[in-house]
Amino acid sequence: MRLKVGLLGGGSWGTTVASVVSRNAPITLWARDAETVDGINADNENHKYLPGIKLPSALRATNDLAEVVAGADVLVMGVPSHSFRAVLEEAASHLRPWVPVISLTKGLELASGKRMTELIEEVLPGHPVGVLTGPNLAREIMTGQAAASVLSMEDEIVVRALQPVFHSGLFRVYTNTDLLGCELGGVLKNIIAIAVGMGDGLGAGDNTRSALMTRGLSEITRLGVAMGGRAETFAGLTGMGDLIATCTSPLSRNRHVGVELGKGRPIDEIIAGMNMVAEGVKSAPTVIALAERYGLDMPIARDVYDVTQGKRSAQEVFRGLLRSAVGDEAHPG
């Protein structure tokens, strides 16, 4: 019997994952926005988030959350971090016991600092939790370009059972049992991408970008390992892989925010002009709080935090963004 999948969230990445899954399993997508639902059902297109891209006819959408959740053998969460808890709470009374819940969201809850899988465990105790994460730009995948992702859950048997639901053709899905490491990599690289974008917006070169990405990966790994992740995870698809894609692609929302900050535009104006969420802006305060909790120096993340909070300009911080590179590279102070 094929597993029935319910996906909550009608953004670009949620729609992309739903499209990929529709080749392997029956799937229904829930979106709050009635126009998104109508566009998917009537035109096979998400006009708001993936304009001009034809979606599979097997993909069905609805704005009835209870219907999607009650019928799901696997529940996929594709909503932004700021509404993640509320949607989970709405879903809780409709979800059958033991149904796995997979997060697509690369962010942290602002109030608590919790990862999305921690929220799932809190709101839906007893459900196996996981993340699908990696260097995955939605529009590239929808246009048929090859990509690799990672499905991470702590239970090796469950993760292998669910792998075929997401693995499809040129969208290759690997497994990893380091849930904390995989999830953190996806969160933290967004902040480094803002830093790289700031450099690009200020006209910095490839050498600068390379240095920022490498030192940024070092910061990410230090925090991830301190929190309990495995160092090798951060050298893989969910760490370095995702960092490269997010720091270099013109499709990256977080890099775009950085570029505009580098050009001198205020953060509120940049965000007001965006259709989609740049999770790095939301995560920066929480990441700084985590660094302080674990007694770690994260100079790149702190500078991004200062600029996104309006405390300093990109021009002011950029001169100091690489200052951590002057000590021992392998064991920074």
The length of the chain in residues reads 333
Answer yes or no: is 12 a known binding residue: yes
Answer yes or no: is 106 a known binding residue: yes
In this prediction, residue 241 carries a pLDDT of 98
Answer yes or no: is 302 a known binding residue: no
In this prediction, residue 278 carries a pLDDT of 85
Answer yes or no: is 32 a known binding residue: yes
Residues carrying an active site annotation: 189
Q: Which DSSP letter does residue 162 get?
A: H
Look up tokens 């997010």; give the residue.
246
Nearest Cα neighbor of 101 from 114, 113, 86, 118 is: 118
In this prediction, residue 320 carries a pLDDT of 63
Query: Which two structure tokens, joined as six digits, stand for 34?
Result: 């009635």
What are the extents of the domains in the chain?
A: 5-177, 181-326
Q: Chunked in runs of 10, what are the mean pLDDT values of the chain (333 residues)?
A: 93 97 97 97 97 97 98 97 97 98 95 96 98 96 97 97 96 98 97 96 94 96 98 98 97 96 95 88 94 96 95 86 58 57
How far apart CA 152 and CA 291 sit, in angstroms, is 24
Answer yes or no: is 49 a known binding residue: yes
Answer yes or no: is 253 a known binding residue: yes
Answer yes or no: is 311 a known binding residue: no
In this prediction, residue 72 carries a pLDDT of 98
In this prediction, residue 323 carries a pLDDT of 56
Q: Which fold has domain 5-177?
A: Rossmann fold (3.40.50)
Q: Are 131 and 152 in contact (CB under 8 A)?
A: yes
CATH architecture of 181-326: Orthogonal Bundle (1.10)
Q: Are 262 and 198 in contact (CB under 8 A)?
A: yes
Answer yes or no: is 252 a known binding residue: yes
Helix (H) or strand (E) holding 151: strand 147-153
In this prediction, residue 331 carries a pLDDT of 64
Sign, Cα dihedral of 98, 99, 103, 109: negative
Answer yes or no: is 258 a known binding residue: no
How much is the CA Rg of the chain, to the nearest whole Å? 19
In this prediction, residue 2 carries a pLDDT of 87
